[in-house]
């Protein structure tokens, strides 16, 4: 594992940052540990990609907490109305409520956009959206098909690997931001750290980063 910054740059804050990581670990769990697990030697490319995407999703869930758009009082009212107006049993009514809750949650693209913008805001929005669409399509292909969807699917292991590398700077910088490193310093790491060069270069090739 490469170091993304020099110890001297965070020496005065190291104890505080390390303690913050320890304190937050039980809250973030997979959001923290799925990144190092993606670095295991010999891991399948698809598993590495899945770990990174799921880890980012977990970071967002814990970072942003409860979705403010989900109004529990309103959901309770809907549940009462379902009980009065239908013959559905309590289990079926709860399934409907759970489905409504699920559809009110931010989708994966919204989660990734939130994390991207929190660490660095100077993106080409169209290219960023195109890149995230590619990430999401690849994630769905792997999760639901385990590989190519059909014989003419342009699925490529190399492409999946490049997407993983491209997401790495976002993952690393998101964790650093969460444990308490200042946003300006995060931006400096994101743009200049040699350890993140490969992923950063790929984001430039995708046209996501403005040069």
pLDDT tens column, 27-85? 999 999 999 999 999 999 999 999 999 999 999 999 886 565 556 777 777 777 777 77
In a domain, 1, yes or no: no
**What residues have CB less than 8 Å from 124, skipping those under 6 apart?**
207, 208, 209, 210
Instruction: Render 51-81 in DSSP notation, one character per residue.
Output: HHHHHHHHHHHHHH-S-TT--HHHHHHHHHH
Domain match, 87 and 186 both: no
Domain match, 55 and 90 both: no
Structure tokens at 2: 């490469």
Q: Is the pTM of this model over 0.85?
A: no
**Residues 36, 40, 45: CA angle, nearest 5 degrees:** 105
Domain match, 171 and 100 both: no
Domain match, 77 and 96 both: yes
pLDDT in tens, 95-113: 777 777 666 667 899 999 9
Domain that holds residue 94: 72-104
pLDDT cut 90: percent of the chain above it: 56
In a domain, 210, yes or no: no
pLDDT cut 70: percent of the chain above it: 90
pLDDT in tens, 120-157: 878 899 999 999 999 999 999 998 887 777 767 767 88
What length does the chain have? 211
Domain count for the chain? 2
pLDDT at residue number 180? 93
Q: Which of 45, 36, 1 is nearest to 162 (CA)?
A: 45
Q: How far apart are CA 124 and CA 147, in angstroms?
A: 30
Q: How far apart are CA 27 and CA 62, in angstroms?
A: 7
**What residues have CB less than 8 Å from 110, skipping those under 6 apart?**
none
pLDDT at residue number 154? 67
In a domain, 123, yes or no: yes
pLDDT in tens, 174-208: 999 999 999 889 999 999 999 999 999 999 999 99
Looking up tokens 């590989």, which residue turns up?
147
In a domain, 2, yes or no: no
In a domain, 145, yes or no: yes
């Amino acid at each position: 594992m490469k170091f993304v910054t020099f110890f001297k740059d965070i020496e005065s804050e190291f104890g505080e940052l390390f303690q913050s990581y320890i304190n937050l670990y039980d809250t973030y769990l997979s959001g923290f540990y799925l990144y190092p697990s993606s670095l295991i030697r010999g891991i399948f490319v698809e598993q590495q990609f899945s770990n990174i995407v799921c880890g980012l999703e977990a970071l967002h869930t814990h970072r942003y907490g409860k979705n403010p758009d989900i109004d529990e009082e309103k959901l309770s009212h809907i549940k009462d109305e379902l009980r009065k107006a239908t013959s559905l049993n309590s289990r079926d009514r709860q399934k409907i409520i759970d489905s409504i809750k699920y559809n009110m949650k931010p989708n994966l693209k919204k989660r990734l956009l939130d994390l991207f913008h929190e660490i660095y805001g100077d993106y080409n929005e169209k290219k960023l959206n195109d890149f995230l669409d590619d990430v999401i399509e690849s994630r769905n292909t792997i999760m639901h098909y385990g590989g190519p969807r059909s014989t003419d699917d342009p699925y490529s292991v190399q492409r999946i690997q490049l997407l993983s590398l491209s997401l790495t700077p976002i993952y690393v910088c998101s964790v650093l931001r969460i444990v308490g490193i200042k946003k300006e310093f995060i931006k400096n790491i994101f743009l200049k750290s040699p350890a993140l060069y490969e992923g950063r270069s790929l984001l430039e090739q995708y046209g996501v980063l403005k040069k």
